[in-house]
Amino acid sequence: MPSVDVLPESRDLLLEMNAGEQGPAAYSPLIAPPGLWPIDKLFIIYIAITGFLLALSVRHRPTAWIFLAAHVAAVAFILVLSRYSSRPALVVRHWYALIYVPFCYKEIPYIISALGLPGVDSLLARWDLAMWKSDPVFWPDALQNPFLTEFLQLVYFMFIPSVIIWGFLYWYQRPSREFRLCTFLVVATFLITYLGYIILPARGPRFMDYAAHHPALQGLWAFRFFQGGLDSLEGWQYDCFPSGHVAVTIVCAYAARKLPRLIFLIYCIFAGLIAFSTIYLRYHYMIDVLAGALLAMVLILLGRSLYRMVSLGKPS
């Protein structure tokens, strides 16, 4: 018989089925394709792009060499890890994004500062004004209520925990091939928003001078604690356009359709609350929220095709 070429992801699926992996990744044999996975290639591409931007700044910022060395080490770790197929190594490969994504995020303000990029808060505010003929960031002022403020700040604070919980739910309830696909979509969403932060650096409407002319948000007991905690964790960030909170929660909600119905409904409601909280709490401009929603829709529609294309290393 003539030989038949099997695509990497198809081979992955056949191996899993032959190994009897019908259950969740946490309990079934981790049978995965050899070599670099799509998420590995995604990180390498992102690290190469940001590394190039850092290289442009080394003449003025010698400390950029430290970041460049970290980039080389990060890529080397991915390449070395891709050579191992033991279960511990495969578990690390499925979860190393938990470390890589935060480091990519924390690097953003340094890149913006090193390149001397100007903030564009005024531009985003003008776009909002041009689209809506008024400033939509302050539309919820009429709804201001200490209980609502407290609740929405807690919702906003739960963004990262919700993504981690989503990952564990997938790990314990879905096969590893589905876990790899969906984590690829979520990580791609994060990294694309980070590039957006570099292209259009903005801190958010609550840092604009005109915010002082509107009633200050007042919570109850933990509002200042959660807000201060986020500010301390994030530092001096430029993370507005597009809204990563909105984009990632929509993608997570879409992927949660494979989880029990109650969990899916919770993530859908959570995505809606996140979108509203970003405006109510003045973290984002309306244009950020719309751009985040659009990014999520594009990745939901094209993400699986992109995953296959990256799996093959050529257009499919």
pLDDT in tens, 276-295: 999 999 999 999 999 999 99
Q: Which residues contact 277 (CB under 8 A, 6 or more apart)?
A: 152, 153, 155, 156, 283
Segment 1-23 mean pLDDT: 47
| pLDDT on residue 224 | 77
Instruction: Report whether pLDDT(238) > 60.
Output: yes
Q: Which residue has the higher pLDDT, 126 or 209?
A: 126
Compute the average pLDDT of residues 2-6: 42
Q: Is residue 292 part of a domain?
A: yes
Q: What is the per-residue pLDDT for 67? A: 95
- Mean pLDDT of all residues belonging to the chain: 88
pLDDT score of 311: 83
Which pLDDT band holds residue 212 (cuts at 50, 70, 90)?
Answer: low
Please tell me the distance from the alpha carbon of residue 42 to that of residue 307, in angstroms, as a whole number.
10
pLDDT at 193 over 80: yes
**Does residue 95 belong to any structural domain of this protein?**
yes
Residue numbers of the domain that contains 228: 8-312
Segment 132-159 mean pLDDT: 89
Q: Is residue 2 part of a domain?
A: no
Taking only the tens place, the pLDDT of each residue in 48-71 is 999 999 999 998 889 999 999 999
Residue 3 domain-assigned (yes or no): no
- Has residue 65 been placed in a domain? yes
Give the total number of structural domains in the chain: 1
d(CA 33, CA 86): 12
Stretch 183-200: mean pLDDT:
97
Instruction: State pLDDT tens for residues 169-185.
Output: 999 999 999 999 999 99
Contact 219, 146 (CB under 8 A): yes
pLDDT higher than threshold 90 for residue 315 = no
φ/ψ of residue 234, rounded to 5: -80, -30
Residue 202 belongs to some domain of the structure: yes
Q: What pLDDT was estimated at residue 7?
A: 47
Q: What is the pTM of this model?
A: 0.89
Q: Could you tell me if residue 266 is inside a domain?
A: yes
Helix axes 64-81, 87-95, angle to 10 degrees: 140
DSSP state of 176: H
Torsion, Cα of 64, 65, 69, 72 (10° steps): 80
* Residue partners of 133: CB distance under 8 A and separation at least 6: none
pLDDT of residue 9: 47
Rounded mean pLDDT, 85-97: 94
Q: Tell me what pLDDT residue 44 has.
A: 97
In this structure, the chain runs to a length of 316
Has residue 28 got a pLDDT over 60? yes
Quickly list H helices, 159-285. 159-173, 176-199, 223-234, 244-255, 261-280
Mean pLDDT of 88-94: 94
Per-residue pLDDT at 218: 80
**Is residue 1 a part of any domain in this protein?**
no
What is the percentage of the chain residues whose pLDDT exceeds 90? Answer: 68
